[in-house]
Chain A
Amino acid sequence: MSATMKATLLSVIERLASFNEVYLGYDNTQAMLEANRCLMCENAPCTMGCPASIDVRGFIRKIRFNDNRGAIRLIREENIFAGVCGRVCPTEMLCEQNCCSQALTDPIRIGALQRFLADWEMEVGRRPFSLPLADRQPVAVIGAGPAGLAAAATLRLLGYPVTVFEQNSYAGGAMVNVIPRFKLPRNIVDYDVQLIRDMGVEIRLNEPIGKTIVPSTLLEEGFSVVLLAVGLQESYKLGIAGEDLEGVYTALDLLTAANQVESAREVKIGKHVIVIGGGSAALNSACCALRMGAERVELTSRRIPAEMGAFEKDKLQALDEGVQINSRFRPTRILGKNGKVVGLEGVRILGKEGDNLTDMPDSRIILNADTVVIAIGQRPDQALAHCFNGLEVANNGCLMINQETGQTSDPKIFAAGDILAGDNIRTVVQSVAEGKTAAKAIHEYLSR
């Protein structure tokens, strides 16, 4: 069977040789076959499962009815990041989870169909835009990640001139610096971001966010509202000895280095890597390490895979690629010699369920390692905290908003994206949804 036709996945040997995309896309025949499997439900549960409210049934029907143009239009009108989400969305827990086809055979591969359409549009060229004049009140957005950019696009289409202020030298946020290239090639992000520029949204890079760019100065300069979409730029620490040794990195360090982002801290991956954590950042870090020279990568977590927060595809990929999963492990100390990491000490923990665990007596374990990656989550950047002066924040520093009005405790300041307090699973599509919601709230507020 030919590689192209069989594979929606590169073989493991091929994968580890580079950061090339692991999943391959559909061709026209495959897309049509898959679209033909769709039951064409009314009040489609897939549509209801999409955080961005894409008319999923509608776009699949358009593929089936030979109208790819109309199909990609339906997607982009609700989610400007059609290309990015077509690749990174954990559709198995969103639209596909509800798919009625699974009662008969398998859920429709909705993500693959969306990706097919985004790639098709890139290939044949997009339609020109029809844009309103940007003659309403000017809006400032801080942060050119998915939430900020989705909000900017929505506002622009409502007639607002938008300026996005970004601290990095690139736009895209986590799409560029945290999601691995083997999931999301850079050109896909750049294409979607360029659409937003083409709409007339101004994106200013290398801006000193938190220094001269803070909401109050922007409001003084004439912007009518400010949207904070600054994301979570810092990493949580374990709070154990040895975290400052040479060879200890955070997931952010490793992922940005893997993605060759300019501002990345220098990361030297040794031969024996241990990643601590169970989210997608941890699983992705492990797979990146395998591509960065590691001979052995082990992942330690308090949780077993079924309990881990990582997306299914990320877990499966790590497993296939040979990441050793060491569950029910609690790290106690990072061991060093001459200032460099030589190992990780921890204990075995017992229990049936990830949060109700106790240390197993006399179970001190020492794992060899020359690199340790701490991937236990991200938090708001402390340096930006004074941007939030006076704004209501949660215990973890995330911003609270009024669910009805979308405003923070300052009516002229709105928030969206990872910086929002709350339990929503963080995905690009969730940030897009929050950006859209914030944009509509801003429009409500400015139209009153």
Chain B
Amino acid sequence: MYKVPEVDLSVNYAGLRFDSPFILASAPPSDTYEMVKKAFQAGWAGAVLKTTSQEDYIVDIAYPCIAGCRFEGNVVGFGNIDNISEFHMDKMEQAVKLLKEEFPSKIVATSIWGTTKESWQTLTKRSIEAGADYLEVSMSCPTDSPVEGLHFMVGQIPEEAYKIVSWIVEAAEGFPIVPKLTGDVTHIIEIAKAVKAAGAVALCACDSRHGIIGIDLDTFAPLPNIENKGTYAGMVGAHLKPFELRNLAELGSGQDLKVAASGGAMNWHDSAEYMSAGATLVQFCTAVMIYGFDIIDDLKEGLAYYLESKGFHSVEELIGRALPNITPHSGLKPIKHAVAKVDKSRCTKCERCIVSCSDGGHEAYLVDTEGYPEVDKEKCYGCGLCPDVCPAECISLAAR
């Protein structure tokens, strides 16, 4: 009935064409052929299969392996103590073959985990043999480390990352290799440069972040607790977004490999923010686990209307748009630009702005004779706290 926006959602990454920026991340939703098939039928552009290993590698997963992090009762993200797939390369090879047969225009990548040069290289060759379009190097999974004796992830040590990626690139003989980075580093650019030097053609940033989901105050064990013990988890979901944006911005401005964003995008708006910060693809897992594969329609539609409203004809025009506006702090004019302004017609008189400013700001609010908050312009710094504290969203920052 309504005209569909004339925007091209396709993107190019790792030398491949994706029909939209939205693909499945290497995670439970992409663990089996059956599930990825559902995703492709729903409209996802591609999938990185859950990380797999050689048949002799033992994958131990303790369950429960997922728990939510809550703020005032609302789940804002999850953590997992999951591991790589319990299915080994033989199962994944089958999945790749079937998926590529049934969905030739969808992009299928394997994600591999080796322990030795030999296993990394064998898994690489098997991925190519199976017909995968590219390969992700799972070198940043927070659950374990393949390097004996080290408690760090390969993705945290430039030299280790260089070494492993060059083995894989050697075995790949030109087939596209994409290392998956971690944000748990001091300088992500160092890692990016190291893997580029090793022959990576693009990046995936980032794997889940190290955290502890919460502590159960009855058992004093981390969540999820298993016989009264718990461990460090990989954090995923909405609460990662600010950290992901930071990593994307750093990668977007400090190096030139294309990036598939992973971690924290829950809807088209987040995705557009990630792309404007430099991402070419946006990988999804948590939002799919929460809502199902059919969010792909919402993602594509929302993004398309947005692009049309900005006059963009292709989603590629969005990539990196925000980067020129991200400056060191010294690049910002250090003056008080604005002052808080209350729209009384929408104010509920809850007085939350007053207490926030009084105890966390500059004590710049008073109550007027009708019970509405009144800003003392002399005291107000325009710091930006009250607009996002106000439950009615009726406070804005106006020019002084």
Give the segment of A45-53, A58-66, A339-347 that binds chain B: A58-66
A448 at the interface (CB under 8 A from B): no
Docked-complex contact A70 and B305, CB < 8 angstroms: yes
Docked-complex contact B269 and A65, CB < 8 angstroms: yes
A40 at the interface (CB under 8 A from B): yes
**Cβ contacts B279-295/A at 8 Å (1 or 0 each):** 00000000000011001
Q: How many residues of B contact A (CB 8 A)?
A: 23
Interchain nearest-CB distance for B153 vs A (Å): 33
Query: Which residues from 267 to 303 on chain B have a C-beta closer than 8 Å to any C-beta of chain A?
Result: 267-269, 291-292, 295, 298, 301-302
**Given A2-B347, A2-B348, A70-B301, A126:B2 Cβ within 8 A:** yes
- CB nearest neighbor in B for A67: B302
B61 at the interface (CB under 8 A from A): no
- CB nearest neighbor in B for A36: B74
B393 at the interface (CB under 8 A from A): yes
From the candidates B3, B302, B305, name the one contacting A130 in the complex (CB within 8 A).
Answer: B3
Cα(A335)–Cα(B345), bound, Å: 52
Which residues does chain A contribute within 8 Å of B346, judged by CB atoms?
2, 4-5, 27, 29
Docked-complex contact A66 and B392, CB < 8 angstroms: no
- CB nearest neighbor in A for B294: A58
Which residues does chain B contribute within 8 Å of A130, judged by CB atoms?
1-4
**Cβ contacts A22-45/B at 8 Å (1 or 0 each):** 000001110000000000101000
**Given A2-B347, A5-B392, A69-B305, A62:B298 Cβ within 8 A:** yes
Which residues does chain A contribute within 8 Å of B295, judged by CB atoms?
65
B349 at the interface (CB under 8 A from A): yes
B362 at the interface (CB under 8 A from A): no
A337 at the interface (CB under 8 A from B): no
Which residues does chain B contribute within 8 Å of A61, judged by CB atoms?
291, 298
- CB nearest neighbor in B for A72: B2
A157 at the interface (CB under 8 A from B): yes
Docked-complex contact A77 and B305, CB < 8 angstroms: no
Cα(A42)–Cα(B345), bound, Å: 37
Interchain nearest-CB distance for B165 vs A (Å): 36
**Cβ contacts A1-35/B at 8 Å (1 or 0 each):** 11011100000000000000000000111000000
Cα(A180)–Cα(B349), bound, Å: 34
- CB nearest neighbor in A for B344: A2
Interchain nearest-CB distance for B38 vs A (Å): 14
Docked-complex contact A67 and B305, CB < 8 angstroms: yes
Which residues does chain B contribute within 8 Å of A352, judged by CB atoms?
none
Docked-complex contact A40 and B3, CB < 8 angstroms: no
From the candidates A1, A76, A127, name the one contacting B3 in the complex (CB within 8 A).
Answer: A127
From the candidates B2, B291, B302, B348, name the one contacting A1 in the complex (CB within 8 A).
Answer: B348
**Cβ contacts B302-331/A at 8 Å (1 or 0 each):** 100100000000000000000000000000
Summed over the interface, the residue pairs from A and B with CB atoms below 8 Å come to a total of 70
- CB nearest neighbor in A for B291: A40
Cα(A127)–Cα(B349), bound, Å: 38
**Cβ contacts B1-45/A at 8 Å (1 or 0 each):** 111100000000000000000000000000000000000000000
- CB nearest neighbor in B for A3: B345
A128 at the interface (CB under 8 A from B): yes
Which residues does chain B contribute within 8 Å of A131, judged by CB atoms?
1
Cα(A130)–Cα(B268), bound, Å: 24
- CB nearest neighbor in A for B299: A65
Docked-complex contact A2 and B345, CB < 8 angstroms: yes
**Given A27-B346, A40-B291, A62-B302, A67:B268 Cβ within 8 A:** yes
Query: Which residues from 118 to 148 on chain A have a C-beta closer than 8 Å to any C-beta of chain B?
Result: 126-131
A73 at the interface (CB under 8 A from B): yes
Which residues does chain A contribute within 8 Å of B348, judged by CB atoms?
1-2, 5-6
Cα(A150)–Cα(B306), bound, Å: 30
Cα(A62)–Cα(B299), bound, Å: 10
Docked-complex contact B301 and A67, CB < 8 angstroms: yes
Which residues does chain B contribute within 8 Å of A29, judged by CB atoms?
346, 392-394
Interchain nearest-CB distance for B4 vs A (Å): 7
Which residues does chain A contribute within 8 Å of B4, judged by CB atoms?
130
- CB nearest neighbor in B for A40: B291
- CB nearest neighbor in A for B287: A65
Which residues does chain A contribute within 8 Å of B2, judged by CB atoms?
73, 76-77, 126-130
From the candidates A1, A42, A67, A69, name the one contacting B292 in the complex (CB within 8 A).
Answer: A42
Docked-complex contact A128 and B3, CB < 8 angstroms: yes
Cα(A69)–Cα(B292), bound, Å: 21
Cα(A110)–Cα(B267), bound, Å: 22
Docked-complex contact B1 and A129, CB < 8 angstroms: yes
Docked-complex contact A65 and B392, CB < 8 angstroms: no
**Given A5-B392, A129-B3, A130-B4, A66:B302 Cβ within 8 A:** yes
Cα(A326)–Cα(B48), bound, Å: 70
Cα(A2)–Cα(B393), bound, Å: 15
Docked-complex contact B347 and A5, CB < 8 angstroms: yes
- CB nearest neighbor in B for A156: B1
Which residues does chain B contribute within 8 Å of A128, judged by CB atoms?
2-3
Docked-complex contact B347 and A67, CB < 8 angstroms: no
**Given A1-B348, A2-B345, A5-B348, A70:B3 Cβ within 8 A:** no
Which residues does chain A contribute within 8 Å of B3, judged by CB atoms?
127-130
**Cβ contacts A75-97/B at 8 Å (1 or 0 each):** 01100000000000000000000
Which residues does chain A contribute within 8 Å of B269, judged by CB atoms?
65-66
Which residues does chain B contribute within 8 Å of A42, judged by CB atoms?
292
Which residues does chain A contribute within 8 Å of B298, judged by CB atoms?
61-62, 65, 67, 70
Which residues does chain B contribute within 8 Å of A77, judged by CB atoms?
1-2
Docked-complex contact B267 and A65, CB < 8 angstroms: yes
Cα(A69)–Cα(B300), bound, Å: 12
Docked-complex contact B292 and A73, CB < 8 angstroms: no
Which residues does chain B contribute within 8 Å of A5, judged by CB atoms?
345-348, 392
Q: A28-B393, A128-B3 are in contact. List 13 more A-B contacts (CB 8 A).
A: A1-B348, A2-B348, A5-B346, A5-B392, A6-B348, A61-B298, A62-B298, A65-B268, A67-B268, A129-B1, A129-B2, A129-B3, A130-B4
- List 13 A–B pairs whose Cβ atoms lie within 8 Å, in order of A's numbering: A5-B347, A42-B292, A62-B301, A62-B302, A65-B268, A65-B298, A66-B268, A67-B301, A67-B302, A69-B305, A76-B1, A77-B2, A130-B2
Q: Interface on A for B, CB 8 Å cutoff? A: 1-2, 4-6, 27-29, 40, 42, 61-62, 65-67, 69-70, 73, 76-77, 126-131, 157
